[in-house]
Structure 1
């Protein structure tokens, strides 16, 4: 019997849980309009059974499931806080105020472009796509739908803007993770991403401009907008001073206040606005934090927009996140994800110098997306391929910033395109639009991987290490190995 860490599951066997899970997911969601929880649990059970078949003990498999859940805990806390902040800001009249002034100021034909740019700027400042979508995104959905723009289009524009900022912000956790895991200077990593990310944003804005033209002039029901404005004025105290609450949260995070306390302060400010500005009772304000806000305004659209929020509204998302991470944790623990990535790496290695480099970068982008689909977690899509491909990039004399960019091009931006990924389930819970509905309009999120792969094969902005850089790295690694008491250089700078 081989040692546990030496057991390798063949590539085709590693694919079985994924294939079964996706097939059951398609049937459950498309045909039965059911929840993805059960297909994910069945996929996890199949992965566990295969792991047992190849010699993994049950306690090892079980630990993989728990590791997956532990990795999701920060995301779960954010999900709960976003539920609180949505409830508090709706109850406090903050969302109503943003929608009110948005309907008065923003031109419908330019709304998709405008909301995409606003979300880009806010996320660049705070580094969190989830925080942006849970605040500015929620208000944007209300404004866009009120103008008669399909919810899926609005959600796509919000997501594109939020993930542009998340990818390019030096405050973003995924940006820092990709740079750190590859040993790349943070700002060099961000600078190298410009070549794939800015074209993606430009393409997205052009698409949103073209889509928005149909909502100009007569296409907009001005009577409907007027009735919404009247309903908002009748049920909420509307004041530009309330805009200071979201501004305060943005400023706090921009000043490097951690996201959790910044969002918690946002919840508190919203709750205070509910009691002291909107005139709600303490009891109603407290219940809103758990059960969500409830309103009967007489306007169906306003009721649909504002009857939401609270911790309870996020429990579906929390449970789905836990189930997804059980599946991903087992897949990684028994080596199935590694088996799939290794097979992709073999294909890339078969390719001669520039073409081989392009194939390797393309393989990294594809692997990051594939990991998003199998492990159901954005961070794993950066960590796992980052560990797997570091040596291959070094052997090809490719600068580590090629690897860090490829990880983000394939991992960070594609996570919302997977319905059972933590990002996909968060967006569904927050914006109220399903993945398959908004995916065609999340233009930036699928154009960046295409641009990245195309540029890699064309050899555009593929940076190689010079002989001097290689020598300097080898000397640094040798010194580090000597300090650690190792006989051979570990290559830890890149792995």
Structure 2
């Protein structure tokens, strides 16, 4: 069959794969209670057919999928390393040690506040919400559940703290990505985010303090805590020296060692701890890395907490990430996503509508392309010239990208962040979504600022002249 001539894909046909994917997703995930893989495959197939119908060859469509997958490869590596970290730290008694001492010093009434602050500090130091959730977060889930606090609340507090540090850390990949793509100085970008992130963090702490009051005076919780602590002591060698392992990972990343080698060091130390500290066998330590750690204590809570981790446990997340990125790749590189956004941008006429549209586009991209990085990359390319045209400083755009993209990725079940949290903390979006307070309020704060003009920075006269010259040069190059 002769390949039709390549044409620009219109709005209706561009949005068709998205509508079909969402419809199948609602049926499969909500009604049938199945995973999101098949709906995304249906969406990918529909997008491929639309692209083929508009003149793209199958080879070009394959390249679009490969490009999408390539964008997610760094995330895939981190996902696998986190699985190895959890397995080795569980087997090495590191998670058990963190939970044991956490149970001794943190009271149920203040736990949600404490775990939020701890995750914020760790994530600020290492620049990674995923690494924080996969290490400190796993231990925090164990402590919180042992205290009788609902899993959704605990996960929400962990997510809020982890994303505060990730957003504000100069070591964070998304922070560097947003500043780099918009041409904003890194520390100007971070300072500008203080206006939305700090109030959001304080609101989150206030909510967690209020929610924690209901767990302050529970004798049942105290009995459960004592029982859990006793079982941990019987099952593992608990020593504060094991806390040096997570501390070593934090120090390495703080010293600007990249996340991957820092995590590998943590994995090796956990592996050695299982053999030489806990007295495990070499085969058992290797099994913990591959299939996860396994233990039978007779205590349902402890068994649930410590049977898991390992490379195999992350394969669901890896496959989800790859499938999601094939869908996102076709939407992005066939021009479908641009066609949809062009339609949405027609009403942009003021700084309020521009910033609100940027945040909405980031959320939309998180939902359609299923990847946090794309929700920063695509809108940055789309809106950069509009910000310059309206005389708005680039740090307004870089902040909006983070407020709308980085933060909201956790609310999309099929986004790589939502899938990672489910695989790591064992809690889905429906449970933790209402309690991820920081992630909920920051986009709203950002929109309120846009409406009132508070902290919205205009370009200086020199910056405006430079922007006009750049636009003129671009126009000349296009005409040539």
Say which is worse superposed, 214-223 or 157-166, in terms of deviation. Answer: 214-223
Unaligned runs of 5+ in 1: 350-355, 491-495
Q: What do residues 263-287 of structure 1 show as CA deviations (whole Å, max 9, x unaligned)?
A: 0000000001000000001111111
CA shift, 1:70, in A, is: 1.1
Other-structure match for 2:62:
62
Work out the CA distance in 2 between the residues paired with 1:61 and 1:358: 37
The answer for the alignment partner of 2:458 in structure 1 is: 464
Cα distance in 1 for partners of 2:443, 2:151 equals 25
Report the equivalent of 1:239.
239
Mapped to 2, the partners of 1:176 and 1:489 lie a distance apart of: 29
CA distance in structure 2 between the partners assigned to 1:471 and 1:394 by the alignment: 10
Pair 1:275 & 2:269 matched: no
CA distance in 1: counterparts of 2:117 and 2:224, whole angstroms? 26
Are the equivalent residues in 2 in contact too, given 1:167–1:174 (CA < 8 A)? Answer: yes
Counterpart residue number, 1:372: 366
Deviation at 1:110, TM superposition (A): 0.6
**Residues 1:3 and 1:52: Cα distance change in structure 2 (over 3 Å):** closer
Contact 1:477 1:489 in 2 (8 A): no
Deviation of the 1:224 alpha carbon: 1.3
1:285 aligns with 2:291: no
2:414 maps to 420
Counterpart in 1 of 2:437?
443
**Who is 2:259 aligned against?**
259
How many corresponding residue pairs? Answer: 476
| Alignment of structure 1 residues 162-177 onto 2, 5 Å | 162-177=162-177
Partner residue, 1:352? none
- Summarize the alignment of residues 320-331 of structure 1 with structure 2, pairs less than 5 Å apart: 320-331=320-331
Instruction: Give the C-alpha shift of residue 454 in structure 1.
Output: 1.5
Asked if structure 2 preserves the Cα contact closer than 8 Å seen for 1:329 and 1:375, the reply is yes
Whether 2:161 is the aligned partner of 1:161: answer yes
Q: Deviations over 1:87-112 (max 9, x none)?
A: 00000000000000000100111100
How far 1:472 moved relative to its partner? 4.3
1:488 lines up with 2:476 in the alignment: yes
1:108·1:220 contact (CA, 8 Å) conserved in 2? Answer: no
Superposed CA RMSD: 1.6
Deviations 1:203-249 (A, max 9, x none): 11111111100000126522211111111010100000000000000
Task: Work out whether residues 72 and 321 of structure 1, in 8 Å CA contact, stay in contact via their aligned partners in 2.
Answer: yes
Aligned equivalents of 2:471, 2:475: Cα separation in 1: 11
Question: Are the equivalent residues in 1 in contact too, given 2:5–2:55 (CA < 8 A)?
Answer: no
Deviations 1:137-195 (A, max 9, x none): 00000000000001110000000111111111111000000000000011111111111
User: TM-score with structure 2 length normalisation?
Assistant: 0.96
Name the SS for the 2:345 alignment partner: helix
